Amino acid sequence: MGLIVKEGLHDKQAEDYIERFCQTSNIKETDKLTAMTLADLEALHPGAIVGLGITESQLKTWIEKKPKMTSLKSQKPVNPESKNAAQ
């Protein structure tokens, strides 16, 4: 995980990096390790970086550059009545 943070990898780049690691390390459960690592990265905070070989500053930079997800709440709700009216 430390290298993902150091290299500034996010989303597909991070996923690809983990999958390559699994292949070169002969890890058979690639999907499972990838999912677990991505979940751990989502929850990563300064108190959890001990042993990862990264600094708080590197973590902060990585978090700041993390792509923002569009909130479902910000999307316009669909009016079911208007959908039926169009049919």
Of the listed ranges 28-37, 47-56, 66-75, the least confidently predicted one is 66-75
Positive or negative torsion for Cα 64, 38, 50, 17: negative
pTM above 0.75, yes or no: no
Query: 3-state class of 23 per DSSP?
Result: helix
Residue 77 pLDDT more than 70?
no
Extents of the domains making up the chain: 2-74
Range 34-52 average pLDDT: 93
